Structure 1
């Protein structure tokens, strides 16, 4: 039996990135909030804290039993330090789930901070001086939270090593995969053709999805492209190019690959599902990840994946992926060639990926977070006991 509204504990969720924000952050927040609302089952009275500019969208989107609080815009860290604590006082919110940056006050507020990663602590070379200064506050403020949620055991180990939090105070909740990612045989034929035409997709292509910056190691993927046995195979790079990206254009020109490398920029999620499913092989040679969701999305689409053997990627991809040394373009090319030349291995990795991806769902992620909050706040147990 559900509790009456006045009997429920008031849970606030920092949902400022629900309608827009950094691409990966927006995707995580949207999926988690949607599933937390669906799977709440009367446990909490949910308050969503959103940007005021999204007020009309939010009022039309969310069910009536979800309370909406609208905030005027300010940088995320300042909003979490100033605006959100004030709103928790005004609305009597007892528990607050923050994104990245915890607050200092109110003292009686039970604070849980969802920290996506602290890669900047171990891999500072991939971040600007301003980014490092900004993200460093994440570590300082985490000490003021009652609990931390992060996205992989690898990331938890990094946090403990760098004294972001104690092991007992950090819980790991894996990301999920949206159900819209599915194999080509499950996609509508008219949509497949529409996306092929829209992006002028080649008949066969390697696919990379994610930000285009030095940490993602696209340069070695391009070097590997020039070593492949199939000279007709193209490389499709889908994602936003960042300010610290390697000068890829010069590398492409030097390697005479201008007709084989295609940049799409950021694409809408509805198109991304098809771009994944149509791909021949998915490649993810990243040097450092907190989780590494794109390989799982590719797996769920029935596409074999070739991934880096660094940081969290082996933890997340398990035995379903083909692993490469990201520093070695020859190794990347060799592993891709092997997949393309061995139809049995290709089929085996395709099926293994589909099975592995089935272990990850946003519903499961949301339920784990709700359970953690229940144990940690309502029953006053530690994450370790939960």
Structure 2
């Protein structure tokens, strides 16, 4: 993963300070900005390009919405790219927001902005929260750093050579600069501690949280079946960008080999990733065009509705730092079938089917869900009480307090 670093216009191996010196002149001159006493926390979201960074976007957005529900003394100012405020207007109602003259897709300009524009505007903040997994080489301390995952360590083949150089150089420095590191699961927390030799009391879990009203704006099942051409049979949903580690090709093999009901529909939600062409080719190769529906990115209300009507949400990913769709599905009373990846297993607990990534192990999964549906839904309802936006926001507030202590 680590998708928050982007795929566009990269020069990942270039040192941030060198970039700042080289490109600062490209950015418009900044006015003198007076200190704003009301905002003691600055949140760097310049990395967050809506639709391009995967689950880390929803993770931070829901945390901040949850923080707004707390009776805390934190009123963060959010520093964002142009498209962010249009995509997440609810945050603008809660917090002061400053918008950079950036699209965010060019990492070089974003890095420069973090070292110049952002540094100047946050120099009087009592705390800076960098939510994208890395920190600039300079700037205000103390720092809370959110690390979503460390996929580059375990699956380096899913990253370009330049991106690996960037992460290998930047991650250790970022961890060293941070006062507190926030991770979405205990599995990621332990990985950070072991990999970077960090004091355990500096690394805390801030879990993903789902809003209480998820699904309330979903269209009817009749409308969704009509809009997406789902027919009247069972539906299974897999919401994920088509990156190699997500497991789309594995799932297609299961469909072809074992889930052969002609009326069954697999709905693949999410944007186009690095494996998109391979996924399309495999669908054609296995003659699954009629049974696999690919609407791509859909409105969140439609995503929720599709999950609600699904027989199961399937999640065969081989690497996750959390796996937000698992909690979303359980919140919507949809049983989960997932691969036994450590973070996802931690999140699910005993509230879903957790299976090895072997097509034979998945052969009877849909029948098991049918037989145990009532029990799985009840277990999911109990499990999701641990993953609310309010609890996520409360954990974030505790991370801020720890960094300031």
TM bracket (short chain): 0.7 to 0.9
Please give the residue correspondences for 1:154-165 in structure 2 after superposition, counting only pairs within 5 Å.
154-163=187-196, 165=198
2:330–2:377 CA contact under 8 A, matched in 1? yes
1:215-294 to 2 correspondence within 5 Å? Answer: 215-226=245-256, 227-228=258-259, 230-245=261-276, 247-294=278-325
Answer yes or no: is 1:86 the counterpart of 2:120. Answer: yes
Q: 1:195–1:29: structure 2 CA closer, same or farther, 3 Å change rule?
A: same
**In 2, distance between residues paired with 1:70 and 1:27?**
19
1:123-143 deviation line (CA, Å, top 9, x unaligned): 212223233234332333221
Q: Residues 125 and 39 (structure 1 numbering): CA distance in 2 closer, same or farther, change over 3 Å?
A: same
User: Unmatched 5+ residue regions in structure 1?
Assistant: 381-386
Ranked by relative contact order (alpha carbons within 8 Å, sequence separation 6 or more), the top structure is 2
- Please tell me whether residue 69 in structure 1 is matched to residue 123 in structure 2: no
Unaligned runs of at least 5 residues, structure 2: 1-34
Question: How far does residue 348 in structure 1 lie from its aligned partner after superposition?
Answer: 1.1
Structure 2 SS opposite 1:178: coil
- TM-score scaled by structure 1? 0.84
Change (3 A) 1:348 1:66: closer
Alignment equivalent of 1:46, drawn from 69, 76, 81: 76
Q: TM-score, normalised by structure 2?
A: 0.80
Q: How does 1:128-207 map to 2 (within 5 A)?
A: 128-136=160-168, 137-163=170-196, 165-182=198-215, 191-203=220-232, 204-207=234-237
Contact kept in structure 2, 1:35 and 1:366, CA below 8 Å: yes
Query: Following the alignment from structure 2 to structure 1, what is the Cα–Cα distance between the partners of residues 321 and 165?
Result: 19
Match of 1:113 in 2: 145
Distance 1:323 1:93, change over 3 A: same
- Provide the C-alpha distance between the structure 1 equivalents of 2:340 and 2:127, rounded to a whole number of angstroms: 38
Separation of aligned partners in 1, 2:320 and 2:90? 36
Query: Contact 2:331/2:380 (CA < 8 Å) preserved in 1?
Result: yes
The CA RMSD over aligned residues, in Å, is 2.8
Bigger mean CA offset, 48-57 vs 199-208: 48-57
Shift of 1:320: 0.4
Q: Distance in 2 between matches of 1:196 and 1:273?
A: 13
What is the CA–CA distance in structure 1 between the aligned matches of 2:163 and 2:119, rounded to whole Å?
24
